């Protein structure tokens, strides 16, 4: 327990647990043993998205994968709110950005949706996943969001589950200020059930999509102020407002548990 916190933190396939052996991908092995020059006996922090974070010790530093053995649990798994982010794919770098930011903001599932006016026609799920994993590794997040199969927005709305609320950013100016709408929704609603945030494409929603959204019982149109925001900005802003008004940013943050550990790469904005 007196050991310094491991400097490297990796997401691996689980299940992790006391004495469990974790295998690495070739890329991870290359990073650990060639780039970082770790060897047998050195410690690494591992997480699998389900069983918390573990201090693991290098047992085999082989380049084809090597092996690590879990020694002790550093943090128990936490589960954030049941929050999906639906977003219309953007240019490559901005889509990467959305995956990264959604991970930091605690989104549980990323759902790329093709809309009538979506510019981008293709989504590389592996690439989105890689950006989400990297963000989780670097920012001390314990879960990596699922990346759903891209779908058409009209199909998603047609099959929308009744219990999930949907906050969407309404570019027509008809939405109420986001915090007012969320506060009312909290007053009216019972327990905070599953939610989703939808950020439209750069071309806005089509009349048909707008009608489908208006017909959805749990949909909450909101405004994000008087200036136009790019879609990636809108995603971060909308997630921040939702988390602060409805999600786990409402609680007093727990006291810093891991101060200084990820300081090279992560910001000083959440508790450690």
Cα 217 from Cα 164, distance rounded (Å) = 10
Cα 1 from Cα 28, distance rounded (Å) = 25
Residue 88: CB atoms within 10 A of its CB come to 26
Min CB(251)–a second copy separation in Å? 7
**Tokens 């950005």 -> residue:** 97
CB nearer to a second copy: give 62 or 225.
225
Min CB(77)–a second copy separation in Å? 13
Min CB(259)–a second copy separation in Å? 8
CB nearer to a second copy: give 23 or 272.
272
CB nearer to a second copy: give 155 or 253.
253
Cα 194 from Cα 196, distance rounded (Å) = 7
Min CB(224)–a second copy separation in Å? 5
167 secondary structure, DSSP code: E
Cα 158 from Cα 212, distance rounded (Å) = 8
Q: Tokens representing 189?
A: 């609603």
CB nearer to a second copy: give 42 or 100.
100
């Amino acid at each position: 327990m007196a050991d310094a916190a491991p400097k490297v933190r990796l997401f691996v396939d689980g299940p992790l647990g006391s004495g469990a052996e974790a295998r690495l991908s070739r890329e991870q092995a290359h990073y650990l043993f060639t780039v970082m020059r770790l060897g047998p006996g050195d410690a690494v922090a591992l997480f699998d998205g389900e069983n918390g974070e573990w201090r693991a010790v290098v047992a085999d530093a082989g380049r084809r994968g090597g092996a690590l053995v879990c020694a002790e649990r550093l943090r128990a798994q936490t589960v954030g709110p049941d929050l999906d982010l639906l977003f219309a794919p953007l240019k490559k770098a901005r889509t990467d950005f959305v995956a990264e930011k959604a991970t930091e903001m605690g989104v549980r599932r990323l759902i790329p949706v093709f809309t009538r006016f979506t510019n981008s026609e293709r989504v590389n799920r592996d690439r989105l996943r890689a950006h989400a994993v990297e963000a989780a590794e670097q920012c001390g997040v314990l879960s990596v969001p699922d990346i759903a199969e891209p779908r058409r927005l009209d199909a998603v709305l047609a099959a929308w589950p009744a219990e999930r609320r949907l906050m969407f950013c309404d570019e027509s100016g008809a939405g109420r200020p986001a915090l007012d709408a969320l506060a009312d929704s909290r007053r009216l609603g019972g327990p905070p059930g599953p939610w989703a945030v939808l950020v439209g494409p750069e071309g806005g929603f089509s009349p048909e999509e707008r009608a489908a959204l208006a017909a959805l019982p749990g949909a909450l149109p909101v405004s994000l102020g008087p200036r136009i925001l790019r879609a990636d900005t809108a995603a971060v802003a909308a997630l921040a407002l939702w988390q602060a008004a409805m999600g786990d940013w409402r609680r007093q943050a727990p006291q810093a548990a891991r101060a200084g550990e990820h300081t090279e790469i992560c910001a000083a904005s959440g508790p450690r």
